[in-house]
Amino acid sequence: MANDVLVFGELRGGEIKKVVRELIAAGKVITESTGGSIDAVLMGRGSENEAEKVRKLGLRKIAVLSDEILDNYSTEGYAEALAGMIKEEGYGYILLGATAMGRDLGPRTAAKVDGVMFSDCVDLRVEGTSLVARRPVYSGKLLIDITPVGDHPVFVTIRPNNIAPAGEGADSSDVVQRPSGVTREMIRAIATEIVPLSGGRPDVSEADVIVSGGRAMKDAANFKLLGDLADLFGGAVGASRAAVDAGFAEQPLQVGQTGKVVNPKLYIACGISGAIQHLAGMRTSKVIVAINKDPNAPIFEKAHYGIVGDLFEIVPILTEEIKKLLN
Amino acid sequence: MKIIVLLKRVPDTEAKILINQEGTGIREDGVKFIINTYDEYGIEEGIKLKEKIGGDSKVTVVCLGPEESTEVIRTALAMGADDAVHICDPALKAPSPFTTAAVLAKAIGEEGFDIIFCGKQGIDDDTAQVQSGLAEMLDIPQVNIAGSFELSEDASKAVVGRRIEGGTEMIETSLPVIVSCDKGLNEPRYASLPGIMKAKKKEIRTRTLADLGFDEAPGAGASRILKWLTLPKGGECRMVEAEEVSDAVKELARLLREEAKII
Ligand SMILES: Cc1cc2nc3c(=O)[nH]c(=O)nc-3n(C[C@H](O)[C@H](O)[C@H](O)COP(=O)(O)OP(=O)(O)OC[C@H]3O[C@@H](n4cnc5c(N)ncnc54)[C@H](O)[C@@H]3O)c2cc1C
């Protein structure tokens, strides 16, 4: 079976995503046991420049597909280009970030090349010669270890912020230009425009720090309190479903089972009770701080640090204290 | 217009999920099952679209799942779907996402379709793979994680707001297309009492693998679950207390810096 790994070098707005380094590190877990090599592929506007950023990470080669047709992401165009490379070069493993793009592109491409696919994995290892992927199921209430059977290219999307990123070495890899083979006619659905989230803060699914508010926030204006704290870290503001449904925050900010799954270094839950559906979205945060009036709120069972009291009193003081520490 | 809505029966979001004694899956006894939460947005969008277009448009629910799925199918019919196809076969007990996609592709191909709505993922296996596999097998475009949906006047194309990190990608797509739905796309309606009465008379066509022309489950056996695991135990919560709130907060900030090393 083919042992070589292909890492999808996701770009957004012409910039390579942080998760790509983590994917390369995951690729090394595979090739250390199987003896294969790791290549990366970058597509669309900016790919040539951004290829430089991964040149020292121990890749064999970096394929750059800078056709104009790939400047805007389209499932069909990207899947066609990716499938073409896999068929031609015979990759055994294809690694993508478990991002909006990776989770859209991975399964479509896998179906094209008769692959198997494991989505949203949090860990990879090799047992004997078999890849074993670990992934959460039932909204993170359980985990499974899953392994491919038979001779199929194996696609894995990996949840960002889970694997230590690959470090730099001296070896720089070859950058090769490649035509994509994609034509306009192949694309029936295409992005015409990207409307940014209002607020100008990073997305909860990408932020290292999230300050979230629940029903206790009482109205939308009070979310400014959380924003002030989040901004100290360049972080994001999140919300519980109760806060979204009450109109205090927009849907894209919702964290949880019917919101986004987040994985930040620090999650500060303000006036959030900690319902099971909320926990489903944030329980893997590295450090969880809970601020709640109710000492019996279930959020304290999952938090690492808790403080009982009124968030309207606590959050502004915390913001000041952290500001002092950061200066 | 022929609208297909995909439906899956899953454990309730509140359910405590435990591994069964054999370690081969979850314990189902005592677990309440519901319509996959995201599928509700798909059902609502399908019915809304039918109401808007009128004429002889029709919403057909397609569900792959065990016999007990009839209950959630009836709920979808009570919300306003017209009829249903229930694919039920012992060989489809725990299908992989691409097995599901291949079987659905066959059934939906037989039904005919202009647009397919489904949830952005199942809240049981959480793979979010079926819709994209299905799109490939039916050779149609896909738009995943829709937060808005607008059909053009002449019903030849649609503009879908696809949620991505940091914003919304406005996607223009031709029909037929499959759209997977996110919360916030709409407010799913409740099944009304008259709806529930009417649903009893609506047709549910049951299909086995053999009915769909398969000798065995397509694409089965390409992966194997080695192990089911419970979550690692989390640590205790450290409660930060002090006489004065401001002192407690100071202490919290100190702990975040010196102990958690996060600041
Ligand atoms: C199918 C389904 C899907 C769901 N998906 C999600 C999801 O994705 N995300 C999600 O979050 N929820 C989800 N929920 C809802 C979930 O069950 C809870 O209802 C919700 O998380 C509660 O939000 P909350 O904690 O903000 O509000 P509440 O439960 O009302 O809690 C408010 C908390 O604030 C505290 N409080 C009040 N005033 C103050 C104050 N001044 N200072 C400090 N603390 C204060 C209270 O003690 C309380 O603990 C889902 C539910 C269902 C049925």
Burial of A171 (0-12, 13-18, 19+ CB in 10 A): exposed
pLDDT, residue B6, reads: 98
* pLDDT at site B158: 98
What pLDDT does A261 receive? Answer: 96
ipTM summary value: 0.97
Going by CA atoms, what residue is nearest to atom 31 of ligand 1?
A273
CA distance B175 to B198: 31
Looking at the complex, does the CB of residue B36 fall below 8 Å from at least one CB of chain A? no
Residue B234 reports pLDDT greater than 80: no
Asked if B37 lies within 8 A of A143 by C-beta distance, the reply is: no
Residue A1 has pLDDT above 60, yes or no: no
Which residues, including other chains, have CB under 8 Å from residue B76's CB and lie 6 or more apart? B5, B7, B35, B43, B61, B84
pLDDT per residue as tens digits for the range B15-66: 999 999 999 999 999 999 999 999 999 999 999 999 999 999 999 999 999 9
Identify the pLDDT of residue A315: 98
- The Cβ-side half-sphere exposure at B219, using a 13 Å CA radius, reads 24
Q: What are the pLDDT digits (tens) for B179-201?
A: 999 999 999 999 999 999 999 99
Rounded mean pLDDT of chain A? 96
pLDDT by residue (tens digit) across A229-240? Answer: 999 999 999 999
User: In ligand 1, which atom is closest to the CA atom of B34?
Assistant: 1
Residue A213 binned pLDDT confidence (cut-offs 50, 70, 90): very high
Q: Of ligand 1's atoms, which has the minimum distance to the CA of residue A256?
A: 8
Residue A229 is predicted with a pLDDT of 98
Lookup result for tokens 């919403």: B59
Which residues fall within 8 angstroms of residue A182, CB to CB, at 6 or more apart?
A: A67, A69, A70, A77, A80, A81
- Residue A240 CA, closest ligand 1 atom number: 11
Please state, as a whole number, how many other Cβ atoms lie within 10 Å of the Cβ of residue A295.
10
Q: What is the mean pLDDT of residues A1-25?
A: 94
Residues of chain A numbered 254-283 and touching chain B (CB < 8 Å)? 254, 257-259, 265-266, 276-277, 280, 283
Among chain B residues, the shortest Cα distance to A194 is held by: B169
Q: Confidence class of residue B94 from pLDDT cuts 50, 70 and 90? A: very high
The whole-angstrom separation of Cα A55 and Cα A166 is 11
Model pTM score: 0.97
Distances (CA, A) of B217 to B121, B134, B192, B213: 22, 15, 37, 10
pLDDT digits (tens, 9 = 90+) for A82-125: 999 999 999 999 999 999 999 999 999 999 999 999 999 999 99
What is the enclosing helix (H) or strand (E) of A30?
A: helix A19-34
Across the range B227-248, mean pLDDT stands at 93
In this predicted structure, what is the pLDDT of residue A172? 86
| pLDDT value of residue B139 | 98
Write out chain A residues lying below 8 Å of B145, CB-based.
Answer: 100, 104
**pLDDT per residue over B142-162, tens digit each?**
999 999 999 999 999 999 999
Distance CA A270, CA B28 (A): 35
Q: What is the pLDDT of residue A198?
A: 87
CB–CB of A22/A158 below 8 Å? yes
What is the rounded average pLDDT for all residues in chain B?
97
* pLDDT computed for residue A2 by the predictor: 86
Sequence letter at residue A324: K
Q: Per-residue confidence at A157, pLDDT binned at 50, 70, 90?
A: very high
Is the Cβ pair B168, A149 closer than 8 Å? Answer: no
Distance CA B215, CA B222 (A): 17
Q: Is B142 on the interface with A (CB under 8 A)?
A: yes
Q: A123-127 and A130-137 as β-strands: parallel, antiparallel, unpaired?
A: antiparallel
What is the per-residue pLDDT for B235?
Answer: 76
Q: Chain A within 8 Å of B242 (Cβ-Cβ)?
A: no
Q: Is the CB of residue B177 less than 8 Å from the CB of residue B157?
A: no
Rounded Cα–Cα distance for residues A131 and A146 (Å) = 8
pLDDT at B260 over 80: yes
CA-to-CA distance for B46 and B58, rounded, in angstroms? 9
Peptide bond into B218 cis (omega under 30): no
pLDDT band at A199 (very low <50, low <70, confident <90, very high): confident
Averaged pLDDT, A21-34: 97
pLDDT in tens, B203-219: 999 999 999 999 999 99
Q: Is the Cβ pair A258, B38 closer than 8 Å?
A: yes
Selected for mutation to probe chain A from B165, B245, B247 (highest A CB count within 10 Å) is: B165
Does A188 score more than 70 pLDDT? yes
Determine contact, residues B80/B49, Cβ cutoff 8 Å.
Answer: no
